[in-house]
């Protein structure tokens, strides 16, 4: 199996490092100083589960110079860069290439499928706390590392997905082929969206939400609103998402923060539209009142005309 990862940040870089170290045929796509550092010195990993180590050599290119045809593409780009990856995927993929989006935004796979009608695009999500510490270095905060993926329609299932799951497991990454990826992707979103919204609203790291107080109460309120939205969408979780997500939160390093917070502080493009504002649009479409999201979105400048 030949793998390609678009985006070697906290998510894609971690998958790439673990799979390369396990001997899988894998290439990462990135750009700028991060790409140059990986090409010249490998990818340095600072982890709680495996200590600090460097994966070298590691195959790494920019989109322009990649010239292979992968069997599987993990798209780990940010949502605001998603459209930029489509022409590249069309050029790089062969007819049986499978696309697995690992993005924060709910519904990404369905949106990509419309743009790539000749390929199979699954849906996927990841549980990890990791970020680029500096060019060529990925910092993981916490031991959780789990990838969940699956097809939205049963008739699209391919047995090769089992090989993908096996290769991830062989690389030390927990892998789950979902029998209901619509539910499971929204379950992941029920953590990442409330955590991003809470983190931005209060300007906090995970530690503040790990303690009893208004920050944790707000995080819980946001999760309950996602739960109400899921019920309106006829999606039924098979776990208590509040209990499950609090367990994830409480196992993080207290210094962990969300990528949305980091991007906003650094003046970069951010996923604020998909992580927070899109929730309000879904609430409007499904007739669900979301007062906590409304409160946070108002502070962040979400205008009525954008709804």
Question: pLDDT digits over 29-75, tens only?
Answer: 999 999 999 999 999 999 988 899 999 999 999 999 999 999 999 99
Q: Map residue 191 onto helix, strand or coil.
A: helix
Distance of CA 293 to the CA centre of its chain: 21
Residue 11 binned pLDDT confidence (cut-offs 50, 70, 90): very high
The mean pLDDT of 3-21, rounded to a whole number, is: 98
Question: What pTM value is reported for the model?
Answer: 0.92
Q: Which residues does 201 contact at the CB level (< 8 Å), separation at least 6?
A: 218, 295, 296, 299, 300
109-147, pLDDT tens digit by residue? 999 999 999 999 999 999 998 999 999 999 998 889 999
Domain locations in the chain as residue ranges: 2-179, 183-300
Residue 303 binned pLDDT confidence (cut-offs 50, 70, 90): low
CATH class of the structural domain 183-300: mainly alpha
The CATH class that applies to domain 2-179 reads alpha beta
Please report the beta strands in 141-210, taking only residues with DSSP state E, as ranges in sequence order: 146-150, 174-177
SS (H, E, C) 277-306: HHHHHHHHHHCCCCHHHHHHHHHCCCCHHH
pLDDT tens for 245-271 read: 999 999 988 998 999 999 999 898 999
Confirm whether 2-179 and 183-300 share one CATH topology.
no
């Amino acid at each position: 199996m030949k793998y390609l990862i678009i985006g070697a940040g906290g998510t894609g870089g971690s998958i790439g490092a673990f799979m390369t170290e396990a001997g899988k045929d894998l290439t990462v796509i990135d750009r700028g100083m991060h790409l140059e550092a990986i090409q010249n010195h490998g990818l340095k990993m600072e982890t709680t589960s495996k200590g600090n180590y460097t994966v070298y050599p590691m195959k790494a290119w920019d989109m322009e110079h990649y010239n292979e045809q992968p069997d599987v593409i993990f798209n780990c780009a940010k949502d605001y860069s998603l459209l930029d990856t489509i022409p590249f995927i069309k050029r790089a993929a062969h007819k049986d290439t499978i696309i697995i989006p690992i993005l924060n935004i709910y519904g990404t796979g369905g949106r990509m499928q419309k743009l790539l009608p000749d390929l199979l695009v699954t849906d996927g999500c990841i549980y990890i706390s990791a970020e680029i510490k500096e060019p060529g270095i990925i910092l993981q905060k916490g031991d959780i590392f789990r990838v969940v993926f699956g097809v939205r329609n049963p008739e699209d299932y391919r047995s090769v997905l089992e090989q993908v799951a096996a290769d991830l497991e062989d690389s030390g990454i927990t892998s789950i082929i979902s029998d209901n990826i619509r539910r499971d992707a929204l379950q992941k979103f029920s953590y990442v969206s409330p955590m991003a919204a809470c983190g931005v609203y209060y300007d906090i790291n995970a530690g503040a939400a790990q303690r009893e107080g208004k920050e944790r109460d707000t995080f819980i309120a946001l999760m309950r609103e996602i739960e109400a939205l899921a019920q309106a969408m006829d999606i039924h979780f098979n776990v208590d998402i509040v209990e499950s997500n609090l367990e994830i939160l409480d196992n993080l390093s207290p210094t962990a923060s969300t990528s949305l917070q980091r991007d906003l502080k650094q003046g970069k493009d951010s996923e604020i539209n998909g992580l927070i504002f899109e929730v309000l649009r879904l609430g409007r479409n499904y007739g669900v009142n979301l007062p906590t999201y409304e409160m946070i979105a108002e502070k962040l400048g979400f205008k009525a005309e954008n709804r």
